A and B are shown apart, each in its own frame.
Chain A
Amino acid sequence: MIEPQPITTIDRSELPAKTATLASQGWRLVQICCTTGDTSLELTYSFDKEYAFSNLRVIVPRSDAVVPSITASYLAAFTYENELQDLFGITVTDLAINYNGKFYITTIKHPFLQKKTNTPASTMPA
Chain B
Amino acid sequence: MGTRTIIPFGPQHPVLPEPIHLDLVLEDEKVVDALPSIGYVHRGLERLAEVKDYNELVYVAERICGICSFIHGQGYCQGVETLLNVEVPPRAKYLRTIWAELSRIHSHLLWLGLFADSFGFESLFMHCWRVREKIVDIIEETAGGRVIFGSCKVGGVRRDISNDTLKRIRGELAAIESQYNELKPTFLKDASVNRRTVGVGMLSREQAIALGAVGPTLRGSGVAQDMRKLGYAAYKELQWEPVVETAGDCYARTVVRVREVTMSFDIIRQAIEKIPAGPIAVKITGNPTGEFFSRLEQPRGEVVYYLKGNNTKNLERFRIRTPTFANSPPLVIMLKGCELPDVPVIVLTIDPCISCTER
Contacts and interface: CB of A to CB of B under 8 A. Distances in A.
Nearest to A120: B44
A122 to B, nearest CB: 15
Most B-side CB within 10 Å, residue of A50, A75, A106 = A75
B321 A30 contact: yes
B156 to A, nearest CB: 17
Nearest to A5: B293
Nearest to B82: A2
Given A1-B230, A53-B295, A76-B210, A117 B302 contact: no
B48 interface: yes
A31 B306 contact: yes
Contacts of B225: 48, 50-51
B29 interface: no
Given A76-B326, A116-B50, A117-B48, A104 B232 contact: no
Interface in A57-111: 74-76, 78-79, 86, 97, 99, 102-106, 111
B274 interface: no
Interface in B1-35: 35
B304 A31 contact: yes
Given A28-B209, A116-B50, A46 B293 contact: yes
Interface of A: 1-3, 5, 23, 26, 28-31, 33, 35-36, 44, 46, 48, 50-51, 53, 55, 74-76, 78-79, 86, 97, 99, 102-106, 111-112, 116-117
Interface of B: 35, 37-40, 42, 44, 46-48, 50-51, 82, 209-212, 225, 229-232, 236, 292-293, 295, 302, 304, 306, 308, 316-317, 319, 321, 325-326, 328-330
26 contacts: A1-B231, A3-B295, A5-B292, A5-B293, A23-B210, A28-B210, A28-B212, A33-B317, A35-B308, A35-B316, A35-B317, A51-B225, A51-B230, A53-B293, A53-B295, A74-B210, A75-B211, A79-B325, A79-B328, A97-B35, A103-B37, A105-B40, A111-B44, A111-B47, A117-B44, A117-B47
